[in-house]
Structure 1
Amino acid sequence: MAKVNVSLDAELVIEAMLLSGTRSPQDAVELLVRDYVSRGHRTEARTGDVADELRRLEVGRTEPEAAG
């Protein structure tokens, strides 16, 4: 896997370390990013993604409305 170096404010990294319970800045940031990404995937699984919503809207426009 490719690696990326990012410069962050020291206070931000210390806060990330405290929240994640790690002693390594690298581990702390990695854990927080992985958690953020997994939450996004879980949310998409529950609610669908943008493409699902656009398809739903298109189907709603093309169906004739029921007579009243």
Structure 2
Amino acid sequence: MVKVTVSLDAELAVEVMVLAGVGSPQDAVEPAVRDHMARGHRTEARAAARDDALREVDGKPRDVEG
């Protein structure tokens, strides 16, 4: 796997370390990024399911009242 070096603000790095429960900024950033990406994928999946459900509802013919 290719590695990338990223510079972060020291306060941000410390906060990520505390949240991840690790003692190294390098060890903290990867799980934080992976978690963020996983949340994005879950959100996309929920939105797609909701959109599909709305399409099913919108696709049905409506009764005309008159």
TM-score (structure 2 length as normaliser): 0.70
**SS of residue matched to 2:31:** helix
**For 2:62 and 2:48, how far apart are their aligned partners in 1?**
27
Percent identity among equivalent residues?
59
**For 2:10 and 2:2, how far apart are their aligned partners in 1?**
24
Name 1:48's counterpart in structure 2.
48
TM-score (structure 1 length as normaliser): 0.68
Tell me, which stretches of 5 or more residues in structure 2 are unaligned? none
Alignment of 1:1-68 (within 5 A): 1-48=1-48, 66=62, 68=64
What is the aligned residue count? 58
Q: CA RMSD in A?
A: 2.2
**For 1:67 and 1:15, how far apart are their aligned partners in 2?**
56
**SS of residue matched to 2:45:** helix
